[in-house]
Amino acid sequence: MAKQTAKTTKNSKQPKKTTKTTKTTTTANRRKKAENETRELYYQSPAIERKVSLTTTIIVAAITLAAGLGIGINWDSLTSNFSPYLGGKKTSNTINFSALNSVYSELEENFDGELDNEKIIEEAKRGLVNAAGDKYTYYMTATEAEEFQKDLNGDVGAGVGVEIGERDGYIKVLRTTPDNPARKAGVLAGDIIYKADGVDISGGTVEDAAKKLRGAAGTKVKLTVIRNNKEIDFELTRETINNVSVYTEYKGKTAIITLTRFDQETGKLARNAANEAIKKGCDKFIIDLRGNGGGYVSAAKEVASLWIDGKIVVEQKSSNGIYNDKTYASSGQAILAGKKTIVLTNGTTASASEIVAGALQDYKLATLIGEKTYGKGSVQALKDLPSGELLRVTIAKWYTPNGQNINGDGIKPDKEVERTFDQINKDEDPQLDAALKY
């Protein structure tokens, strides 16, 4: 059951806006060393937080912040554990971590309260990484890393059935999913996320807001949104969310294949869907990538291989050359080559989705209809840290087959068609209508 109340937001606190080649011998040797310590790389959209991985190599640098003696924390231990590698390039730079000891010494001596050294270490790690000034580079605790992996595989557990992301500087509901609590209660696309259980979550990240809305099945959460300058409260009971990555519907001889993310099963599911549609006699395919923020690049490759036969899908380039790589489509598997194909995109089509959309557009194998994509064109490496922690660090940029890097710009569709929040809430879809008529 869901209960809804509303009140006008007047003279009260408003939701906060959120703040989106030939190598030298040395490089070759470092790359060879990296091949012995393999970890998948990925792209990511911060708006949706679904990840994309590139199968290549990285150098893993372990960060160990050890509890010391005397004043309690030995910051100098960072130097030996973190240097000389970061992001795969050797550096002679060193940091004087003894300055942190001075800060901690004064804090411990003068603070009127109890200090949690474990928390201090955790936040020091986070601050160290955040100081890079790159929103795609960040540190994850063991708990956050576990949630990250669940998200990547679509294992969201229990929640209220909303997809949220940053729009116009606010965290907004992008859409509600069918037969889930939020839609049943009346939550609408375009609603601004304000509070969860009375706590303002509007000033945090999309990930933080999502965590507040998740929980055990059967538990309740009070969601407060802003709609037309009014606060509206919803009492929602969390349910297990059915979140498949591929599903298909048919309009006559047209197959509409929706991909919600690119996980380890997406490539196989998309191929099965294509084969089924061919058996049904479909001669037109609409691939819906709207709201798809990414996933494994291996899945993007498998999906692109439905149209592209053995050609390059995406190229990765780094300034030091270590992470330069090319990903090619599989040969002999392009069962949709020559089939009329339309790809639907919008502002939350990102990362792996942009890889597929960009490649199909470059090879003129599909027509893109909808809105400009998100524009995520950099590559991050996942680096294992002690105790299950993870470091995500930007190491390269990626390019479409024609050499375009879409970072910050996105991919412009061949035919631009807008879909407003009002149309979403009325279940009107001018983008899909345009694709069906095309």
Q: For position 12, what pLDDT does the model report?
A: 45
Q: Residues 6 or more apart from 277 whose CB is under 8 A from it?
A: 248, 250, 255, 257, 285
Residue identified by tokens 């009014």 is 230
Q: Residues 6 or more apart from 337 whose CB is under 8 A from it?
A: 307, 308, 309, 365
248 and 120 together in one domain: yes
372-384: average pLDDT: 88
234 and 250 together in one domain: no
121-149: average pLDDT: 90
Which among 224, 240, 256 is the end of a domain?
Answer: 240
Backbone φ and ψ for 215, nearest 5 degrees, come out as: 165, -175
User: Tokens standing for 208?
Assistant: 């933080």
266 and 356 together in one domain: yes
162 and 79 together in one domain: no
The two beta strands, 192-196 and 3-8, are: unpaired
pLDDT beyond 80 at 386 = yes
Q: How far is CA 269 from CA 249, 259, 299, in A?
A: 14, 10, 10
The string of pLDDT tens digits covering residues 129-142 is: 999 999 889 999 99
Give 398's strand partners: 316
Q: For position 59, what pLDDT does the model report?
A: 20
30-38: average pLDDT: 39
Which among 206, 240, 274 is the end of a domain?
Answer: 240
Evaluate whether residue 27 is within a structural domain: no
**Core vs surface per residue 415-433: b (16+ CB within 10 A) or e:** eebebebeebbeeebebbe
List, by residue number, the catalytic residues. Answer: 351, 362, 376
270 and 148 together in one domain: yes
Question: 335: domain CATH number?
Answer: 3.90.226.10
On whether the CB atoms of residues 347 and 374 are closer than 8 A, the answer is yes
Question: 201: domain CATH number?
Answer: 2.30.42.10
The string of pLDDT tens digits covering residues 291-343 is: 998 888 889 999 999 999 999 999 999 988 988 999 999 999 999 999 999 99
Indicate the residue type of 288. Answer: D
The string of pLDDT tens digits covering residues 165-218 is: 888 889 999 888 877 899 999 999 999 999 999 999 998 888 889 889 988 889
Model's pTM, two decimal places?
A: 0.71
Q: Return d(Cα 104, Cα 121) in angstroms, integer.
A: 11
Tell me how far the alpha carbon of residue 396 is from its chain's centroid.
17
The string of pLDDT tens digits covering residues 246-282 is: 999 999 999 999 999 998 899 999 999 999 999 999 9
107 and 186 together in one domain: no
Could you check whether the bond before residue 386 is cis, i.e. omega within 30 degrees of 0?
Answer: no
261 and 352 together in one domain: yes
On whether the CB atoms of residues 346 and 369 are closer than 8 A, the answer is no
On whether the CB atoms of residues 209 and 224 are closer than 8 A, the answer is no
